[in-house]
A and B are shown apart, each in its own frame.
Chain A
């Protein structure tokens, strides 16, 4: 079976205005809307398109997190994933531990492709895909803006600082997604109903043999230093004047 595994992270919704707790222990998460990490949504969309092109047979969505992460996996199932696996834990799971957990799932599921977001919009670490590829000893194609399967390999176009780079990777491989890879589909109500019947396995983190927890100790979380309030200028002449005074023009 040609299988694609998609890693999905439950994160604070893209549109939520983040507030830092006054005691410096973290950000406010109580009552905050949670969603699928937008980059992972793109990863799932790409997997579904590959399957719809007849180049894969099954899409498995996997996540690591609290019981509530089942909601995000249900969203993935509603989008079109065939089944889902949640590795349940309330511990802090850093990217290296996440990669170790995903490796155990990879060894079990034997996917030809693992697709995940290039970063999660909560910790912005941008590590998990590369770490999984390293531990798995397989290719990585990060920041993908185009993925074409060609037999036992894939051609991936990557968004790099210089422009667009294309690499060829043998399968199986890990792909991490950039913003312009695709536009994820909207979930329709009947799909949400159907998703309720799709299989969603929940396994305990301990069963994977991976231990999670904080190795990078978060000592303090604080809001960024605010910029001082600027001034409004009336017209172009006023702007040019102000910039000239500061020696910027």
Chain B
């Protein structure tokens, strides 16, 4: 029988929604028993959130001052120490999981399946390669522990309704001191989170400046949407890095994605292919974004955006 350990992601107060999506992936591994491991300095706030996810039967809470910040080099040996009884160890394909899980896999001496997007069997998964242009079905050896990151956009979040036991666990393995947290500059925002928002408004190079990019924020606020950006817009300094959507940025699956002044490079399209409805607004009728858009509107964004905002008022 499959037993799955999910490495939960959180910021100390809130469980990251990527964890609930990993639970859904794990639940698709037939007959799996699903546990969530949490690492932090103080897990009193987040452990109950993990325990409340439907499908989770146990939460392992590893509280340790050394775990105050998620440093892969510090967390990996602890994950390995817990991994023993499990057949599968999963983490989200967020920067947290992408950083940590390969280190875990290497310490376990097993390969990793990156970005699992569907479960075809307990050891069989689909994953995207070549910026999503080639989907590979991979089969991992059943004789070894399977480590995978989960492409969170491909799975719905597990619902509430679980009542898992929370077990405080002391992990006594030597932890390295060669890696130290210094600081994090997070854009504090009341806007919806890009990775989990139902609606996303994204701006591209055609915005032309950081000042003009405010038009995107303004429309997003009007719609209750999160803000995203193309790589070109981030490279040009119009928007900050955590807003980047695409192959090397965030992969998202909102109900509605509005691409404004984004031509639609293949690397960008990779990040939005799972969106339910895509709207493209672009001056260039030949822009590749129109090939995947459900609704396209050709025109000058500087005329269209104010008009659009007004009609939503």
Contact = CB atoms under 8 A, between A and B. Distances in A.
Contact of B294 (A215, A223, A231): A231
A188 interface: no
A41 interface: no
A161 B250 contact: yes
A134 B107 contact: yes
B181 A167 contact: yes
A134 to B, nearest CB: 4
A219 B137 contact: yes
A184 interface: no
A18 interface: yes
B278 interface: yes
Most buried by A among B98, B113, B304: B98
A75 interface: no
A122 B129 contact: yes
- 9 pairs of A and B residues whose beta carbons are closest in the complex: A134-B106, A130-B102, A131-B106, A127-B102, A230-B294, A18-B133, A170-B178, A163-B186, A166-B182
A193 interface: no
A233 B223 contact: no
A232 B296 contact: yes
A201 B194 CA distance: 47
B106 A223 contact: no
Q: SS class of chain B's interface: helix, strand, loop or mixed?
A: mixed
Interface in A175-195: 178-180
A246 B199 CA distance: 13
B187 interface: yes
Interface in B286-313: 290, 292-299, 304, 307-308, 311-312
A114 B304 CA distance: 48
Interface stretch (A47-55, A62-70, A138-146): A138-146
A178 B112 contact: no
Q: Is the interface of A mostly helix, strand, loop or mixed?
A: mixed
Interface string B93-110: 011101111111111011
Interface residues of B, number: 84
Interface in A193-236: 215-224, 227, 230-233, 235-236
B171 to A, nearest CB: 17
Interface string A87-101: 000000011100100
Q: How large is the interface on A (under 10, 10 to 19, 20 to 34, 35 or more residues)?
A: 35 or more
Given A12-B130, A126-B98, A161-B94, A131 B242 contact: no
Interface stretch (A77-85, A105-113, A237-245): A237-245
Interface in A1-38: 12, 17-18, 20, 26-27
B279 interface: yes
B241 A221 contact: no
B134 A18 contact: yes
A137 B72 CA distance: 12
A8 B188 CA distance: 37
B307 A236 contact: yes
B302 to A, nearest CB: 13
